[in-house]
Structure 1
Amino acid sequence: MFKLKTKSGAKKRFKFIVNGKIKRKKSFKNHLLTKKENKRKRRLSYFSRVHKSDIKNIKKQLLLN
């Protein structure tokens, strides 16, 4: 039988925090930043939690069933 590998994209994008929750980076902070306000860019730099309906799929990609 072949080896099961984790999805490398999911491995780079998600980190686990306490209580089995998963954190992720927010989008829209890669380019075209000159027209965005400083307040908006600052809020986009914080981490966010993954919604509970997506946790099952992410754990499946990371082979953590």
Structure 2
Amino acid sequence: MPKLKTHSGAAKRFHKTGTGKFKRGQSKMRHILTSKATKTKRKLGGSALISDADHHKVARMLPYA
């Protein structure tokens, strides 16, 4: 079998956890931050897990993660 290529865009956006799930960053933190509440910005600064429905797609893009 040949080696599989990692999707470089996905490699920059997702990281595998110790339990095999994938972490992702949150969106809506690039600009127009003055109209967002401080609490909202604080929550969006953290990371989140991808949904179970997307797990297969992300795992396929990151074969060696």
For Structure 1 versus Structure 2, the TM-score category normalised by the shorter chain is 0.7 to 0.9
Residue 58 of structure 1 aligns with an amino acid whose one-letter code is V
Partner deviation per Cα, 1:29-65 (whole Å, 9 max, x = no partner)? 011111111100000001101111111100111125x
What is the distance in 2 between the residues matched to 1:61 and 1:23? 14
* Unaligned runs of at least 5 residues, structure 1: none
Other-structure match for 1:42: 42
RMSD: 1.7
Residue 49 of structure 1 aligns with an amino acid whose one-letter code is L
How far the C-alpha of 1:23 sits from its partner, in A, is: 0.5
Matches for 1:14-33 after TM superposition, within 5 Å: 14-33=14-33
Instruction: State the 4+ residue runs in structure 1 displaced beyond 3 angstroms.
Output: none
Equivalent pairs: percent with the same residue? 40
Other-structure match for 1:8: 8
3-state SS of 1:54 partner? helix
3-state SS of 1:15 partner? strand
What is the distance in 1 between the residues matched to 2:41 and 2:6? 31
* Unaligned runs of at least 5 residues, structure 2: none
Partner deviation per Cα, 1:1-33 (whole Å, 9 max, x = no partner)? x76321111000001112101100011001111
